[in-house]
Amino acid sequence: MTETNRSKNEWVEWAKAILIAVFVAFLLRSFVFATSIVEGESMNPTLENGERVVFNKFVYLVGEPERGDIVIIQRPTKNYVKRVIALPGETIKMEDHLLYINGEKYQQHFINEKAQFRTGNFGPIQIPEGNYFVMGDNRAISKDSRNGLGLIEEDDIIGRSEFIFFPFDQWGITR
Protein backbone atom coordinates (compact mmCIF):
# COMPACT_ATOMS: atom_id res chain seq x y z
CA MET A 1 0.00 0.00 0.00
CA THR A 2 1.42 3.34 -0.97
CA GLU A 3 1.77 6.27 1.36
CA THR A 4 -0.96 8.18 -0.55
CA ASN A 5 -3.47 5.33 -0.19
CA ARG A 6 -2.67 4.94 3.52
CA SER A 7 -3.19 8.67 4.05
CA LYS A 8 -6.47 8.57 2.12
CA ASN A 9 -7.70 5.61 4.23
CA GLU A 10 -6.85 7.49 7.43
CA TRP A 11 -8.95 10.46 6.30
CA VAL A 12 -11.86 8.18 5.44
CA GLU A 13 -11.65 6.50 8.85
CA TRP A 14 -11.52 9.86 10.61
CA ALA A 15 -14.52 11.10 8.60
CA LYS A 16 -16.47 7.96 9.54
CA ALA A 17 -15.61 8.39 13.22
CA ILE A 18 -16.69 12.05 13.18
CA LEU A 19 -19.97 11.24 11.41
CA ILE A 20 -20.73 8.47 13.89
CA ALA A 21 -19.94 10.78 16.82
CA VAL A 22 -22.22 13.51 15.42
CA PHE A 23 -25.01 10.97 14.87
CA VAL A 24 -24.69 9.56 18.40
CA ALA A 25 -24.65 13.10 19.85
CA PHE A 26 -27.80 13.91 17.85
CA LEU A 27 -29.57 10.80 19.18
CA LEU A 28 -28.56 11.54 22.76
CA ARG A 29 -29.66 15.17 22.47
CA SER A 30 -32.95 14.25 20.80
CA PHE A 31 -34.03 11.31 22.93
CA VAL A 32 -32.02 11.11 26.15
CA PHE A 33 -30.53 14.35 27.50
CA ALA A 34 -31.01 18.06 26.85
CA THR A 35 -30.30 21.30 28.68
CA SER A 36 -32.49 24.06 30.04
CA ILE A 37 -31.85 27.44 31.63
CA VAL A 38 -33.58 28.29 34.90
CA GLU A 39 -35.34 31.62 34.41
CA GLY A 40 -36.44 33.54 37.49
CA GLU A 41 -36.41 32.90 41.20
CA SER A 42 -39.37 30.49 41.48
CA MET A 43 -37.22 27.44 42.31
CA ASN A 44 -34.97 29.13 44.90
CA PRO A 45 -33.13 27.90 46.88
CA THR A 46 -32.95 24.59 44.98
CA LEU A 47 -32.24 26.19 41.60
CA GLU A 48 -31.20 29.78 41.00
CA ASN A 49 -31.84 32.18 38.14
CA GLY A 50 -29.43 31.59 35.26
CA GLU A 51 -28.34 28.11 36.27
CA ARG A 52 -28.22 25.57 33.49
CA VAL A 53 -29.48 22.07 34.12
CA VAL A 54 -29.23 18.81 32.23
CA PHE A 55 -32.54 17.03 32.05
CA ASN A 56 -33.32 13.43 31.29
CA LYS A 57 -35.83 13.08 28.44
CA PHE A 58 -35.80 9.28 28.43
CA VAL A 59 -36.89 8.67 32.03
CA TYR A 60 -40.56 9.46 31.36
CA LEU A 61 -40.67 7.36 28.20
CA VAL A 62 -40.26 4.30 30.43
CA GLY A 63 -41.81 5.61 33.67
CA GLU A 64 -43.96 8.36 35.13
CA PRO A 65 -43.16 11.47 37.17
CA GLU A 66 -42.97 10.94 40.90
CA ARG A 67 -43.71 13.32 43.74
CA GLY A 68 -40.68 15.51 44.37
CA ASP A 69 -39.27 15.25 40.83
CA ILE A 70 -38.05 18.54 39.39
CA VAL A 71 -39.51 18.52 35.89
CA ILE A 72 -39.24 20.53 32.70
CA ILE A 73 -42.66 21.57 31.41
CA GLN A 74 -42.95 22.52 27.76
CA ARG A 75 -45.33 25.32 26.86
CA PRO A 76 -45.65 27.12 23.51
CA THR A 77 -43.87 30.29 24.64
CA LYS A 78 -41.31 28.91 27.11
CA ASN A 79 -40.32 25.97 29.28
CA TYR A 80 -40.89 25.95 33.04
CA VAL A 81 -38.92 24.18 35.77
CA LYS A 82 -41.15 23.07 38.66
CA ARG A 83 -41.49 20.35 41.29
CA VAL A 84 -44.17 17.64 41.11
CA ILE A 85 -46.31 17.83 44.25
CA ALA A 86 -49.45 15.77 43.55
CA LEU A 87 -49.98 12.84 41.22
CA PRO A 88 -52.95 11.76 39.09
CA GLY A 89 -55.91 10.63 41.18
CA GLU A 90 -54.74 12.40 44.35
CA THR A 91 -56.44 15.20 46.26
CA ILE A 92 -54.30 18.13 47.39
CA LYS A 93 -54.99 21.05 49.70
CA MET A 94 -53.04 23.63 51.67
CA GLU A 95 -54.52 24.70 54.98
CA ASP A 96 -52.93 26.70 57.80
CA HIS A 97 -49.50 26.44 56.14
CA LEU A 98 -49.68 22.64 55.98
CA LEU A 99 -49.84 20.59 52.79
CA TYR A 100 -52.23 17.65 52.68
CA ILE A 101 -52.25 14.93 50.05
CA ASN A 102 -55.21 12.55 50.22
CA GLY A 103 -56.02 13.95 53.67
CA GLU A 104 -52.59 13.20 55.14
CA LYS A 105 -50.08 15.87 56.12
CA TYR A 106 -47.13 15.87 53.73
CA GLN A 107 -43.73 17.10 54.90
CA GLN A 108 -42.05 19.21 52.21
CA HIS A 109 -38.40 18.54 53.01
CA PHE A 110 -37.25 20.36 49.85
CA ILE A 111 -38.42 23.84 50.90
CA ASN A 112 -37.55 25.95 53.89
CA GLU A 113 -40.08 26.85 56.58
CA LYS A 114 -40.30 30.45 55.35
CA ALA A 115 -41.48 29.26 51.91
CA GLN A 116 -44.06 26.97 53.49
CA PHE A 117 -45.67 29.93 55.29
CA ARG A 118 -45.92 31.85 52.00
CA THR A 119 -47.83 29.19 50.09
CA GLY A 120 -51.35 30.28 51.04
CA ASN A 121 -54.44 28.14 51.42
CA PHE A 122 -56.05 26.37 48.45
CA GLY A 123 -58.06 23.31 47.63
CA PRO A 124 -59.03 20.65 47.98
CA ILE A 125 -58.24 19.91 44.34
CA GLN A 126 -58.76 16.47 42.81
CA ILE A 127 -56.02 15.76 40.24
CA PRO A 128 -57.49 14.10 37.13
CA GLU A 129 -55.81 11.11 35.52
CA GLY A 130 -52.98 12.13 33.20
CA ASN A 131 -52.38 15.41 35.09
CA TYR A 132 -49.95 16.62 37.75
CA PHE A 133 -49.95 19.45 40.29
CA VAL A 134 -46.63 21.32 40.34
CA MET A 135 -45.20 24.17 42.41
CA GLY A 136 -41.99 26.12 42.55
CA ASP A 137 -39.91 25.87 45.72
CA ASN A 138 -40.09 29.66 46.21
CA ARG A 139 -43.83 29.60 46.79
CA ALA A 140 -44.34 33.34 47.28
CA ILE A 141 -43.42 34.22 43.69
CA SER A 142 -43.84 30.99 41.74
CA LYS A 143 -46.19 30.75 38.78
CA ASP A 144 -47.39 27.17 39.05
CA SER A 145 -50.48 24.96 39.26
CA ARG A 146 -51.99 27.28 41.88
CA ASN A 147 -51.92 30.47 39.88
CA GLY A 148 -51.33 30.44 36.18
CA LEU A 149 -49.95 27.18 34.86
CA GLY A 150 -52.89 25.08 35.99
CA LEU A 151 -52.70 21.32 36.12
CA ILE A 152 -49.93 19.90 33.95
CA GLU A 153 -50.73 17.22 31.41
CA GLU A 154 -48.31 14.31 31.34
CA ASP A 155 -47.46 14.99 27.67
CA ASP A 156 -46.26 18.51 28.60
CA ILE A 157 -43.60 17.12 30.95
CA ILE A 158 -40.56 16.64 28.73
CA GLY A 159 -37.98 15.55 31.27
CA ARG A 160 -36.60 15.38 34.80
CA SER A 161 -33.82 17.67 35.96
CA GLU A 162 -30.74 15.64 36.83
CA PHE A 163 -27.93 18.08 37.62
CA ILE A 164 -26.69 21.64 37.42
CA PHE A 165 -23.76 22.01 35.04
CA PHE A 166 -23.35 25.80 34.96
CA PRO A 167 -22.11 27.89 36.64
CA PHE A 168 -19.29 25.49 37.23
CA ASP A 169 -18.99 26.28 40.95
CA GLN A 170 -22.64 25.23 41.40
CA TRP A 171 -22.34 21.72 39.93
CA GLY A 172 -24.60 19.29 41.69
CA ILE A 173 -27.44 16.81 41.48
CA THR A 174 -30.92 18.34 41.49
CA ARG A 175 -32.91 15.29 42.56
Per-residue pLDDT reduced to its tens digit, 76-115: 888 899 999 999 999 999 998 889 999 999 988 877 666 6
CATH architecture under which domain 33-173 falls? Ribbon (2.10)
Catalytic residues: 42, 82
Which has more pLDDT, 36 or 119? Answer: 36
Asked if the model's pLDDT at residue 1 lies above 60, the reply is no
Angle at 30 between CA 136 and CA 171, to 5 degrees: 50
Among 93, 79, 100, 101, residue whose Cα is nearest residue 152: 79
Asked if the model's pLDDT at residue 140 lies above 70, the reply is yes
Phi and psi at residue 60, in whole multiples of 5°? Answer: -90, 0
Which has more pLDDT, 25 or 117? Answer: 25
Whether the Cβ atoms of residue 81 and residue 74 lie closer than 8 Å to each other: no
Band the pLDDT of 171: cuts 50, 70, 90.
Answer: low
Asked if the model's pLDDT at residue 168 lies above 70, the reply is no
Residue 174: the pLDDT is 78
CA distances from 129 to 50, 51, 101, 135 (A): 33, 32, 15, 18
Mean of the per-residue pLDDT values for the chain?
Answer: 85
Among 85, 32, 40, residue whose Cα is nearest residue 60: 32
User: Model's pTM, two decimal places?
Assistant: 0.80
Asked if the model's pLDDT at residue 173 lies above 90, the reply is no
The dihedral built from the CA positions of residue 34, 161, 149 and 86, taken in this order, carries a sign that is positive
Whether the Cβ atoms of residue 33 and residue 56 lie closer than 8 Å to each other: yes
